[in-house]
Structure 1
Amino acid sequence: MRKFIIAEKTVCLLILMLLMSSLFAGEQALIASGHPFYPPVMWREGDKITGAAAEITEAVLKDLKTPCVVKYAGSWDQVQKEAMEGKVDLIVAIYKNDERMKYLDFSIPYIEDPVVIFVKKGKTFSFKVWEDLVGKKGVTGTGESYGESFDEFMNKKLSMERISNRDGFKKLLDGSADYMIAGKYPGSIQAKQEGILHELEILITPVTTQQFYMAISKKSKYTGLLPEINKKLKHYTLNGFTERVIFKHQLKHEGNNSF
């Protein structure tokens, strides 16, 4: 009799475990990703994306009781393609433009990002307006966007090669490019890590100051979270959490040569 009771309990336990496993399988975690090299906002660490935007995203979704995984999903172009196809639910930080609005729903802006011009030391030139770049050879990152207005100007008026930042810096230093457009923070951090920051200068006038947004794929089942995400982002801005997280990750990468 005792053996029968034990066997009955074992069967009940197995059934319960099967039910729980199917329940958890149905509640799949939100998949988030981001740029693999844009510190201090976001960057790759192994199979994950970390940084200020990743930390803020995780905090928002934790508050909303939504399980998430912030994973590395390839190059920046690949991340955007995965979001377009619905394989990535959320991009932790991205500029907003008309093309991206076709496949992404955007949050309110929550991080400012100055975009600047890097030049070889001693090769500065007068830059006040975008037209001052006409006739010069420029480089910028593959897959980057700097806002609808400048993107249109760049594509129509400028001689611009799209390559990695590392190759862009090489072209600046060997004289085959006159300038490089990049985010001030990731560009400076990468140049410092490669030991070439002292060979470069940043022109005083920024090209533009862009805003980073969170964005959810239109093919994701999580698009309904945006109103609550916006409330959390506003709250984090007002209570200083966003600023503290960004500052923490800036400090973390001063002198860090781990990339």
Structure 2
Amino acid sequence: SVKKYNKEVLKSTMRSLWRTIFGFKIREVGSNLFLFMFNNNDDREKVLKLGPWWFDKQILLLEKLEEETHPSNISLYKSSIWIRVFGVPFLCLSEKVGRVIGNSIGKIEETGVVAGRRDNNQYLRLRVGIDVQEPLRRRIKFMIGSQEKIWLSFKYEKLPNFCHFCGKLRHTVKKRVDGGCHARGSDDEDMQYGPWLTVEFYRMGSYSPRRGDKDGLDMPWSHDNNKDNPLMKNDMVERSNRVKPIDKVSQEPLEVDKVGKRKIFEENSGEVKRALTLS
């Protein structure tokens, strides 16, 4: 961010959020570049694991510092973030599939299968290290066998401010004026992204769905696979039909080996642990 942040305000805010046992110190080492010095490794690991964190509605990029590395030599452009993947076929809901999908987005760190509020709406939950300089991925094409192709939709947990035009985290559409998003306007019909891409959280990890949120079924891209679903007839989806359908980032398909669904189910108890390859 180009905004100058106060070290003491930052320290006070993060102390209340991190709640470390042994405390930490903070030192300003550059323009909006701060060094957090923890008195205990467990506190440091907890902070890294429970991220992403944000300050003043902007993402806080954290990186471990090796003893021989000067803080000014570190390039801060990556963040670990939790992503929910909706639309995965039931027989493909596995950690193996999650790892392949996660590695297509960034660097996969953790995977899991979560039961939604309805029995037929399970989803994959992935912790992925992403490059915050790149646009957020809204969806990805998933291939089963040689012909069947579907779109998988994403929602992001604890997502800070981001641009609803280009999908980047480092600015908002109202603030960027370098010939980019602001120059293109901010009309809703031009937006490829929106609040539907996020999941809000309360403390202790529980989340509060936004109005109209149906565990990902109201994602603007979900109508590709749920044309007849009555839950899709809300205003947000109707507006999303006007959104330009092509991402500015490549969306290469992931391919599952040509193994029949019945065979996968019988051999792997509903998982595809040995049936995945990248195209």
TM-score by length of 1: 0.24
Could you say which structure has the larger radius of gyration? 1
Q: Higher relative CO (CA 8 A, sep ≥ 6), structure 1 or 2?
A: 1
Q: Greater helix percent: which structure? A: 1
